[in-house]
Amino acid sequence: MLPDGDTAHQSDDEVAQVNSEEPRWNVKEAIGTKSLWLLAIGTGFLYLIQSGTNMHQGAYFIDQGLSLKISALAVSGSGVMAGVGTLAWGWLSEKVPVRFAFAAVALVIAVSIGLFPQADTNIEALVYAGLFGVGVAGMLVVPPVAYADYFGRSSLGAIRGVTESMLAGGQAIGAVLSGYVFDVTGTYMSAFYGFAVLGGITVLMGLSAKRPSK
């Protein structure tokens, strides 16, 4: 029993036990695991898809015959869903193994991008763009959780410094790639279908990224 107003405090032994249960990987150890590279490259693929879609979806919807107003609303709605969706992904990443959450993010993105070529009505544009926004929300939440969950926090900054190069590379390539495909083919269809396939590959990569062990 504690006096009124007093709170229980963990003993030093209890704190040490909690800390000892958290994985502790240094950079050299982490980069030697398959799971780190599956997560890093998979995240890079997701950001490639995100960049290649976000930069061009407004122009794409207009090319589909939709109004400028609907196109702008779809892009804005995608951003809103990305903001709201972070709450759901944060909850999910604590309820299931993080590799399943990562795979789910990739699946949502792959499905939404696969539906984009069918978006030629106002409702379809809004729904598919919103679904894409939900997937983008997962990209923001789940990968950082995965790195911390698998490798601990002691060297997390250095580990993320290595993996973020994949993210930056994906973002840099995606928008240019979509623009190039449009210039060559006159349509974004091939880019979207290619992104959907890449998203499917990322699903498999996420499922394969099992918790590493020393």
Per-position pLDDT tens, the chain of length 214: 455 555 455 444 444 444 457 889 999 999 999 999 999 999 999 999 999 999 999 999 999 999 999 999 999 999 999 999 999 999 999 999 999 999 999 999 999 999 999 999 999 999 999 999 999 999 999 999 999 999 999 999 999 999 999 999 999 999 999 999 999 999 999 999 999 999 999 999 999 999 998 7
- Taken in order of first residue, the domains within the chain and their CATH numbers are 26-208 (1.20.1250.20)
| Rounded CA Rg of the chain | 20
pLDDT of residue 3: 53
Which residues, 6 or more positions from 103, have their beta carbon under 8 angstroms from its beta carbon? Answer: 202, 203, 204, 206, 207
C-alpha span between 48 and 155 (Å, rounded): 26
Residue 28's Cβ-side half-sphere holds a number of Cα atoms within 13 Å equal to 0
Tokens 């930056």 belong to 168
pLDDT of residue 206: 97
pLDDT of residue 6: 52
pLDDT of residue 98: 97
C-alpha span between 153 and 142 (Å, rounded): 15
What global pTM score does this model have? Answer: 0.86
pLDDT of residue 10: 47
pLDDT of residue 22: 84
Q: Give CA separation, 36 vs 143, 144, 187, 212, in Å.
A: 10, 12, 36, 9
Q: Give CA separation, 18 vs 27, 91, 152, 159, in Å.
A: 22, 22, 12, 22
Classify residue 18 by burial, with Cβ atoms within 10 Å: 0-12, 13-18, 19+: exposed
pLDDT of residue 20: 53
pLDDT of residue 18: 44
